[in-house]
Amino acid sequence: MQPTSSCSASSCGARHPAAHLITAHHNAAHIILQRISSSPQSSCGTHHLAAHVILRRAYPATHIITAHHPAAHIIGAHHPAAHITAHHQRRTSSCCAYHHHRISSCGTSLCGTSSCGSHHPAAHIILRRTSSTHIILRCTSSCGTHHPAAPFILWRTSSCGAHHLAAHIILQRPSSYGAHHLAAHIILQRTSSCAHIILRRTSSFGALHPAAHLIELSESSQQSQRQSREKGVPSDTHWTKMEDYTVTVATGTSEYSGTNNYIFLTLVGEKGESERTLLDNPGLDFCRGAADKYKVTSPSPLGSLLLVRLEKQRYWVEDNWFCRYVTVEHLGGDTVVFPCYRWLIGNVNVEIRQGKAKTLRDESIAQLLAHRRTELQERQKIYRWQTWAPGVPRCIDAKTEADLPQDSRFENEKRSDFEHSLQYALLELSLKKLVIMFGKSWSDLDDFKHIFWKLRSPIAEYCMEHWKEDWFFGYQCLNGSNPRMIQRCNKLPENFPVTSDMVQRSMAPRTNMEKELKEGNIYLLDYAILDGIPTNTIKDKPQYIAAPLCLLYQHPDNGLIPIAIQLEQTPGLNTPIFLPRDPPLAWLLAKIWVRHAEFQVFQVLSHLLRTHLVIEVFCVATLRQLPAVHPIYKLLAPHLRYTLEINTRGRSQLISADGIFKRVVSTGGDGVLVLAQREFKMLTYRSLQPYNDFSDRGVSQLPDYFYREHSLMLWEAIHSFVSGMVSLYYQSDHDVTEDTELQAWIGDITQKGMAELPSFGLPNKLSTREELSNLLAVVIFTSTVQHAATNNGQFDWCSWVPNTPCTMRQPPPTEKSAATMEMIMASLPDVSQSCLQMAITWHLGRAQPDAIPLGRYTEEHFTEAQAVELISGFRTELEKIEANILSQNDGLELQYLFLLPSRIENSITI
């Protein structure tokens, strides 16, 4: 049977190179790689590329590729498969069979005869995409050398100047019947007048050809049309003008964001849908960071675009894909942006909305309303509430980070850095530990310098030099890792019987404690929350905790200084009040105990509970109740990045029964949970708002309180930005109350996330735009500024271990005279604990390599000009704050730069 041409002429006037290959009804519509016959003549027992490419059903091999076939000149010499000629019409394959030797452009033999029983060199030729522009046939012979056909590149232009047909041949695609099909994706695009001839008929398996998604034009209908045109007879074929759309698909920029799986796209408009289009350009598609352009056609105008449907189908192996966004342009009109920013995993369909933010009241199209409902229903199945422990905020239902959806996981670079950095720190400190064990003493405070190398910072070094000084102790109460513990003391607590005579030496001339109390210059640190907390046992040795009270005085010349310390909440003969006039070691030991209490409070309460766990509640509620098109989702999403994974890791690796806290912290084990439960009972929504917090603690006028000054500047900028966004999408308070999705969100927060805290103070319903703006500002401020204030400096303040010890190995002294250097060293963490403290605080407090600074929105969820303008204004205000902070710190010996906007992460990621 002689084949008929499926296309008479190419665009250059010459016969199309593959015109004899494809017909609409051809029995050999699929080119299959398989054994030629069941004859056992193949000594190597495997497929032979050179003899197995055939057209089934009586199609002669002479028509596949001959020495004169146009494709034979792709690489400037005979086609590597040009030996499949009439000489091979006998359909047998054997490593001992005769081969016609062909010479490639480099002059080496392309195939040969295998004299052994091993695989033929050509038996394992596979397609590997080795660069963005070259599809190369790679292979390995049985002796381990590259097969001569390896340089063959299917990427050249034919003599007519267009991309050659063979440029699109991809030899590995699964067909609809599940087997691998050699020519499952031969795409004939723009190479002839029949620009889109695609195999669309049924294969011999009775299934639709895998590539049957474009245009079907049978040979008979083409011939009929040509004859009709020649005779002047109108053709029966009705030609419809196709609508062309230019689509740009952007792939993520992180490692492994790209994919080699099939990606199909369909445009959904008010008037219908486009064709389901396989996105496949010459070369590599969907590479990391790429923005690939494609043409998508529709048989009729779609009207306003509603959705973009993305479909990923597995190819050979599963290869996840992260899509950033899709843009669509029609006939030179405006470009419509469809943000995605999510992973496509497995064989999945995803529909994404335009970038314009819409509340529920803005929706009128039934299809889009259904899309919102479906999206939330799917998310609520994935993101579920879980009670980690009674008496604390509820969290995401995930025992380990592996249980989290991929969209909430670290990117690969972040995951590798997180896991390797801790191992690096532990390895270095293990070496330091060995140094101590072999010859170095551990009997004096200076011996801590033996482990204080390489892992260090300028502030840590300054701390090492000045940690014993009273002014430095006071400075850390204002600007250290726990800057919100201090409060004004208008009246001494009854359980802290400090007399005026005790502290008179610390007062300025011509004043006393009573006078300074009235003038508001006396301040208090009260660690009553630690009283009775269960203590840890490390290596069968009990650890100890104190619940101190510390009185501080704002001296006109010396700054904020401690003037009295009591290490327990109950006064008595065994609970002395330590004073600066006491023996130096006694006073130093008392301050060490206060700093030890500070470590417990700032790590478990100020850092873990009041930032990580609180924000997780808002994160889970946002994912469960707000669709991606909702303006509040778009506003909060960048500030919730990575929070679920870092919190899940914290519960499973940091504060778990066998976590790091259990190994090194005095509240490790049961103490962490009891401490968190106590604080959670006292936690209020009001205390999360900085102006109220400073006012309630009476520290609004305290000088040199850089944390307060910087955080209030940032609060103002955040609140102004958020208020602008709220006003943009809610024109009145009524719009807030009528937004059922928003009300479901706040209900999820108060009734699910904070269910065990009825006194939290957050209403179950939002009634005004101001309420909404204030709440959103709290969420963003807490996840950025407040977290940075407690997290970013922990290595600076804790790496010099005596300044902020993680545990104490001896009980608090009951007599001042008992304080000796031996007692101090016996109380402080040992070598192993000190090394681990340095490692974990460096690991958690260091600048993250993939950090996104506050106000930098790498994922552009908002596309409207007004919203983008508000974001730009926010960034401008942050730049002004940055300059102000730098100017304020200029010339200071000890600078406070933790709240520079450029050093504040946009979300809780560590």
Structural contact between residues 819 and 792, judged by C-beta atoms closer than 8 angstroms = no
Residues 6+ apart with CB under 8 A from 838: 425, 429, 451, 452, 455, 795, 798, 799, 801
Amino acid (one-letter) located at 313: Q
Residues of the binding site for Fe cation: 607, 612, 787, 910
d(CA 577, CA 571) in angstroms, rounded, equals: 9
Q: Which two tokens stand for residue 564?
A: 């009295």
Please give the sequence-ordered ranges of beta strands (E in DSSP) within 173-290, or none if there are none: 173-174, 180-181, 243-251, 262-269, 272-273, 277-278
Residue 657 and residue 666: Cα distance in Å, rounded? 13
Residue numbering of the annotated binding site: 258, 280-281, 319, 607, 612, 787, 910
Which one, of 191, 201, 195, 313, lies nearest residue 244 by Cα?
A: 195
Cα–Cα distance between 294 and 215 in angstroms, integer?
A: 16
CA 458 to chain centre: 30
Q: Work out the angle at residue 140's Cα, subtended by the Cα atoms of residues 139 and 142, and round it to the nearest 5 degrees.
A: 145
Cβ–Cβ under 8 Å, residues 110 and 65: no
- Which residue, 854, 858, 903, 862, is CA-closest to 253? 858
Beta bridge partners of 197: 215
> Which residue is it, tokens 């703006």?
773
Beta strands, E only, 252-354? 262-269, 272-273, 277-278, 291-298, 305-313, 321-330, 335-344, 348-353
**Sole residue written with tokens 């490790």:** 668
Q: How far apart are CA 96 and CA 783, in angstroms?
A: 71
Exposed, middle or buried, 81 (CB in 10 Å: 0-12/13-18/19+)? Answer: buried
**Binding-site residue ranges for Ca(2+):** 258, 280-281, 319
Return phi, psi of residue 247, to 5°. -115, 130
27 half-sphere exposure, CB direction, 13 A CA radius = 10
Distance CA 190, CA 112 (A): 36
Residue 75 to residue 110: CA distance in whole angstroms: 13
Strands 262-269 and 272-273 come out as antiparallel
- State the pairing for strand pair 321-330/243-251: antiparallel
